[in-house]
């Protein structure tokens, strides 16, 4: 491939996409491919295995969805594509991308994840679908019941591989891949590349091309970050103070625990601010409804836990607030990936109590840059005894 530079403009037409897909891209309102799309689409069309080092928000979903759809056009109706994702939300989002970009081609997609009844998925799988987007656990349930035939599989996508390994899915992934045909095209996407992900890539990819967006561990560049030093017991008051600011039209707040999320929601409600919690204690229907309401702009404030942090496609978010400092520095980068999406700006604020100073330092070392501090009089360490 010709080396490309950042300022070189490439259009979707130049990437070799079929007219049906170019029409879908136009319908989506995309003017130009993002860097990962520019680099990955021609390689996937050529049949290469690929390792994409890109976080959510870079346009990575379309980078694999579009060329795979192109390769499916006119083929037999068999299950030819499997996408594995860490969470239900990401599976739903990837499925929505396939459906969206496939609007002018005849391709069927089914999402397969837990928390909803098996039987409708079983019926759909048995009737034959082109693309299966699945979380590993539920897919294994179906494989054990022999609901899926992977004999015709041509494409395997491991999406957010680092997160799948973090969540302990390695044994499930191995059991699934063992049932796939060895001659296939495999694409692996990951926001970070720890040794475990490299090992997974070595095991399952053949002569992969590595496509990297930005530097390793680089947070999305359009995001403005800031750290608010604040004693733990003043966090909820500071949150209310910030949310009263009208510029915050949609805000995604992250807490460490489910109880933390519920506490923040009830505190906000007491202050007259409506907020919705999104975490694993909620049923699938409740999570989907909360996400939909947020996307439609009906809910302005969503309070989520770690489990929900990846795979939420919430374009148009104006702010992310880390109510608790993320436990893993990588999570900070992932969360910031929620804003800073293609051609959007967003602000990311992190509340740091005294016991979280060391974690913020670790994050800064990983980013390779300090995060500016914003001291709010009355809420910072100076005005209240340290917690
Ligand atoms: P992803 O990184 O796949 O989660 O995508 C991030 C967001 O960028 C999604 O909301 C996409 O709809 C959007 N997007 C993807 N490709 C483009 C593009 N070429 N131009 C503008 N927005 C895009």
Q: How many A from CA of 284 to the centre of ligand 1?
A: 25
Strands 276-278, 251-254: parallel, antiparallel or unpaired by DSSP? unpaired
Q: Which of 61, 64, 83, 99 to mutate to test the pocket of ligand 1 (most atoms within 8 A of CB)?
A: 61
> Ligand 1, closest atom to CA 34?
19
> Ligand 1, closest atom to CA 55?
2
Q: Is the pTM of this model over 0.75?
A: no
Report pLDDT for 201. 92
Contact 85, 134 (CB under 8 A): yes
> Ligand 1, closest atom to CA 93?
4
Q: How many A from CA of 57 to the centre of ligand 1?
A: 6
SS (H, E, C) the chain: CCCCCCCCCCCCHHHCCCHHHHHHHHHHCCCCCCHHHHHHHHHHHCCCCEEEECCCCCCHHHHHHHHHHHHHCCCCCCCCEEEECCCHHHHHHHHHHHHHHCCCCCCCEEEECCCCCHHHHHHHHHHCCCEEEECHHHHHHHHHCCCCCCCCCCEEEECCHHHHHHCCCHHHHHHHHCCCCCCCEEEEEECCCCHHHHHHHHHHCCCCEEEECCCCCCCCCCEEEEEEECCHHHHHHHHHHHHCCCCCCCEEEECCCHHHHHHHHHHHHHCCCCCEEECCCCCHHHHHHHHHHHHCCCCCEEEECHHHCCCCCCCCCCEEEECCCCCCHHHHHHHHCCCCCCCCCEEEEEEECHHHHHHHHHHHHHHCCCCCECCCCCCCCCCCCCC
Which contacts qualify for 19-22: CB closer than 8 Å, 24 or more apart?
A: 20/73, 20/104, 20/105, 21/66, 21/69, 21/70, 21/101, 21/104, 21/105
Q: How many A from CA of 264 to the centre of ligand 1?
A: 30
The residue nearest atom 19 of ligand 1, judged by CA position, is 33
Contact 264, 255 (CB under 8 A): yes
The residue nearest atom 5 of ligand 1, judged by CA position, is 59
Q: What are phi and psi of 40, to 5 degrees?
A: -85, -40
Nearest residue to 54 via CA among 217, 186, 168: 217
The residue nearest atom 20 of ligand 1, judged by CA position, is 30
Report pLDDT for 251. 86
Residues in the chain: 387
**Can you say whether the dihedral through the CA atoms of 375, 378, 381, 387 is positive or negative?**
negative
The residue nearest atom 1 of ligand 1, judged by CA position, is 59
Contact 339, 346 (CB under 8 A): yes
Report pLDDT for 274. 87
**Residue reference for tokens 């959510």:** 56
Report pLDDT for 219. 46
Q: Which of 12, 87, 95, 341 to mutate to test the pocket of ligand 1 (most atoms within 8 A of CB)?
A: 341
Nearest residue to 375 via CA among 351, 348, 346, 347: 351
Q: Which of 342, 343, 344 to mutate to test the pocket of ligand 1 (most atoms within 8 A of CB)?
A: 342
Q: Which domains does the chain have, with CATH numbers?
A: 5-212 (3.40.50.300), 223-386 (3.40.50.300)
Report pLDDT for 311. 53
> Ligand 1, closest atom to CA 337?
2
Contact 363, 325 (CB under 8 A): yes
Q: How many A from CA of 194 to the centre of ligand 1?
A: 25
Q: How many A from CA of 191 to the centre of ligand 1?
A: 15
Tokens of 241: 């103070």
**Residue reference for tokens 């899926």:** 148
> Ligand 1, closest atom to CA 12?
19
Q: How far apart are CA 331 and CA 289, in angstroms?
A: 25
Task: Burial-class residue 114 by CB neighbours within 10 Å (0-12, 13-18, 19+).
Answer: middle
> Ligand 1, closest atom to CA 56?
2
- 298 C-beta neighbours (distance < 10 Å), count: 11
Q: How many A from CA of 313 to the centre of ligand 1?
A: 9
The residue nearest atom 12 of ligand 1, judged by CA position, is 59
Q: pLDDT tens per residue, the chain (387 residues)?
A: 333 444 456 889 999 999 999 999 999 888 888 888 999 999 999 999 999 988 777 889 999 999 999 999 988 889 999 999 999 989 999 999 999 999 999 999 999 999 899 999 999 999 889 999 999 999 999 999 999 999 999 999 999 999 999 889 999 999 999 999 999 999 999 988 888 898 999 899 998 888 887 543 344 445 567 888 899 999 999 999 888 865 677 788 989 888 899 999 999 999 998 888 887 666 767 777 777 777 677 778 889 886 665 555 555 566 789 999 988 777 777 666 444 433 344 578 899 999 999 999 888 877 767 787 877 777 777 654 433
Q: How many A from CA of 86 to the centre of ligand 1?
A: 19
Residues with CB under 6 A from ligand 1: 30, 33-34, 37, 56-62, 313, 315, 341-343
Q: How many A from CA of 39 to the centre of ligand 1?
A: 15
Q: How far is CA 237 from the centre of its chain?
A: 30
**Residue reference for tokens 């970070």:** 192
């Amino acid at each position: 491939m010709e080396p490309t530079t950042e300022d070189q403009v490439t259009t979707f037409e130049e990437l070799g996409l079929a007219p049906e897909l170019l029409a879908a891209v136009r319908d989506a309102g995309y003017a130009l491919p993002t860097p990962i799309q520019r680099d990955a689409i021609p390689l996937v069309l050529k049949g290469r295995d690929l390792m994409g080092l890109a976080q959510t928000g870079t346009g990575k979903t379309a980078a694999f969805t579009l060329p795979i759809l192109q390769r499916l056009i006119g083929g037999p109706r068999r299950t030819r594509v499997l996408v594995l994702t860490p969470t239900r939300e990401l599976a739903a989002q990837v499925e929505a991308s396939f459906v969206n970009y496939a609007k002018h081609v005849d391709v069927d997609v089914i999402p397969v994840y837990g928390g909803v009844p098996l039987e409708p998925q079983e019926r759909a799988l048995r009737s034959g679908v082109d693309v299966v987007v699945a979380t590993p656990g539920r897919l294994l349930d179906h494989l054990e019941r022999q609901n899926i035939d992977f004999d015709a599989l041509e494409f395997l996508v491991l999406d957010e591989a680092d997160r799948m390994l973090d969540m302990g899915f390695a044994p499930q992934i191995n059991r699934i891949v063992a049932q796939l045909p060895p001659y296939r095209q495999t694409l692996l996407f990951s926001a970070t590349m720890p040794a475990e992900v490299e090992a997974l890539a070595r095991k399952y990819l053949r002569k992969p091309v590595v496509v990297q967006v930005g530097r390793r561990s680089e947070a999305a560049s359009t995001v403005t970050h800031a750290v608010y030093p604040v004693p733990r017991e003043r966090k909820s008051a500071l949150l209310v103070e910030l949310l009263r600011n009208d510029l915050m039209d949609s805000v995604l707040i992250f807490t460490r625990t489910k109880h933390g999320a519920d506490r923040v929601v009830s505190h906000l409600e007491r202050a007259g601010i409506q907020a919705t919690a999104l975490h694993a204690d909620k049923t699938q229907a409740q999570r989907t409804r909360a996400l939909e309401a947020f996307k439609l702009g009906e809910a302005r404030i969503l309070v989520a836990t770690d489990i929900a942090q990846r795979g939420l496609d919430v374009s148009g978010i104006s702010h992310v607030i880390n109510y608790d400092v993320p436990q893993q520095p990588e999570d900070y980068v992932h969360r910031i990936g929620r804003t800073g999406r293609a051609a959007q700006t967003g602000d990311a604020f992190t509340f740091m109590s005294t016991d979280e100073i060391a974690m913020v330092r670790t994050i800064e070392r990983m980013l390779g840059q300090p995060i500016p501090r914003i001291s709010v009089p009355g809420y910072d360490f100076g005005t209240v005894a340290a917690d």
